[in-house]
A and B are shown apart, each in its own frame.
Chain A
Amino acid sequence: MTSSVNTDHQPPLCNAKPILNELRHGLDRLLAGGNATVIDLQRIPFGVDDERYLRDALGDGEVHATINTLGKSTVQETGVAGVWWVTHYDEAGSVLGDFLEITTIPEVLKSQHQDIMRGLRKLSASLEIEQPTKTAQE
């Protein structure tokens, strides 16, 4: 457990530094052509200052996106390119999930095959064109 910054008045950090290390390894893997990594922040114990420390360390990046399905979700690239901070909210605005994703683009941002199909159907219906067959689905 990291506690080098601790004094009597500064609460000790709990898991912020181990997470930063994990991100470093995740980026290495990503560059080497490996898989994306997802860290579930809600399963990791945080002290009072861990989240602030993490946010300060990662900084703010270039992409900010908002998704509206089953409540809001924010997807935001951090100052460290390739590290994305994904937060899911419910309809009341409470945080449901908090993830760090190490990837070129989070899966949830991409348009999904079924949704594209549904969109196509909707578009076709409005144009009164024959609908595509369902066999295209995986």
Chain B
Amino acid sequence: MTGVELLIWVRGPGLQLSLAAFILGMTYRILQTYFLGRAKNLAEPRGSPWIHGMKTMWWRSFFHPGMTIRGYFTIISGYTFHLGFIITLLFFDQHIELFKSWTGLSWPALPPLVITVTAVLGIAALVAVLVDRFADPVRYLLSDYQDYLCWVLTVLPLVTGLLLVYKIWLPYTSLLVVHIISFEILLVAIPFTKLSHVFTIFIARWYNGAIAGYKGVQS
């Protein structure tokens, strides 16, 4: 296949298939988890599990005192790479065009220079967390191949996107193909790796909040 044929494939069937795999996988994963079921709680509730569950879903996104005593590295690098990635994904004009083609919805974009900053910060923070994964004994002990695989899958769209926008290394068409493929691989990988936390985080937080909320504690 030539570059142009690859581009047509990744923009056409590739995007369709990866999005379908993502949706299928995510729906599968969520429902599979839900239908595993859990026992009804017979104890008299002190609080509403629903309300506390929803609150935890939201509040757990924010740092609160007592979350760490070791310093702020994890917090800062974690927020930076998440925000860097999400802002770059959601607020770059050309990405909005993609979402618009899927959903018909669009929203204001951030200037390309701002997006460059968010992408570079995102990459820098990802590099920092990778170094830390090796350097920190706790994270090193917890890590398996999937953590490193997911790191690569996350950083690639950011790196290839920057190369594409600034036309570094390869011609535009080739970089566009590589960039879209990196996104498609990420999309397919999300439901089947720890990256599924992009959705299941809300389920986990809800359960956490609901379990504590049942007892009247806002977790």
Q: Do chains A and B touch in the complex (CB under 8 A)?
A: no
